[in-house]
Every structure is written in structure tokens, then in C-alpha cells.
Amino acid sequence: MRFLNVYPKRIWATLNAAGVFEGQFTFDLEQYGFITNDVVCDVTVVEDAVMTGQWKIWVKPLFDVDMPHFDQFVDTLNHYVFDVLQYTPNRSATGKDLPVVKIFFGDIYFDMSGAQPQIKKREGIQ
């Protein structure tokens, strides 16, 4: 049995010269009641080279945090962002700003305790 919850806060990434969004993913991690706040890892958000309009978030693995089934978490994160939220990055920007991906997660978390990650709503969040 394992107890692991991931509470995503935000993804913030800026378009680089190669046409890839690079940035950071910030989240809280709860393992057996111990909470690590504001864990930050690098992310890239890329469009599939073959299937135009299909996007994927790549999260750099965390070597200093023990997180079993990290790949399953990233797959579930992609499903939530692109299938549930139906988010599509935009390479256009207004004014002088660079194009950015800004995703703020409110009242959801990823329950990683079972065989497959589950997306759940946080209780008592205002």
C-alpha cells in the first residue's frame, strides 16, 4: 500500500526559438501525511511533429523526490490538460510579450495511491 497525492499549482512556460514552450511545473506532494510544498520541475510543452494540433507536456523526472509511477502521473496530467480542460497552446502573443503557456490548477489533485492515478476534487477549497 502506498499513499501519494500530487496537488498541481501551475504550469508556466515560454515559447523558445525552436518553437517549444519551456518552463516550470509547480506542485505540492503529499506522501504518507508528509507534505513537500512548492516542488518545481522543468517542463516542455510540444506539438506532435506528425499530428498537428496534438500537444504533450514533458515533465523532467524528479530525482530528489521519491515518486513512484511518475510516468503514469505525467500521462494523467496530459489527459487532464488536453482532454478534460481542452487546453490548446497558442504560439501567438499580444504586444511585445513572448507566447506563454499558463495553466493554473485550482481544486483538483492526483491520487496516486491506486494502480492508476485518479483525478479528484479537493474538499474545502475556496
pLDDT single digits (tens) 81-107: 999 999 999 998 877 888 999 999 989
For residue 54, tell me if it sits in a domain.
Answer: yes
pLDDT at 126: 46
Give CA–CA dist 8/124, Å, rounded: 16
For residue 126, tell me if it sits in a domain.
Answer: no
% of the chain at pLDDT higher than 90: 59
| Count of domains forming the chain | 1
Grid coordinates in use for 67? 515518486
Exposure of 126 by Cβ count < 10 A (0-12 exposed, 13-18 middle, 19+ buried)? exposed
Residue keyed to cell 490548477: 105
Grid coordinates in use for 70? 511518475
Please report which confidence band the pLDDT of residue 67 belongs to, taking 50, 70 and 90 as the band edges: low
124 compared with 32, residue with greater pLDDT: 32
For residue 28, tell me if it sits in a domain.
Answer: yes
pLDDT at 32: 83
Q: Among 89, 108, 94, which residue's Cα sits nearest to residue 8?
A: 108
pLDDT at 64: 61
- Residue 43 belongs to what domain range? 4-121
112 compared with 26, residue with greater pLDDT: 26
Please report which confidence band the pLDDT of residue 28 belongs to, taking 50, 70 and 90 as the band edges: very high
Res 61 pLDDT > 80: no
Res 37 pLDDT > 90: yes
Q: Which helix (H) or strand (E) holds 34?
A: strand 34-47
95 compared with 14, residue with greater pLDDT: 14
Whether the CB-CB separation of 66 and 40 falls below 8 Å is answered with no
pTM of the model: 0.87
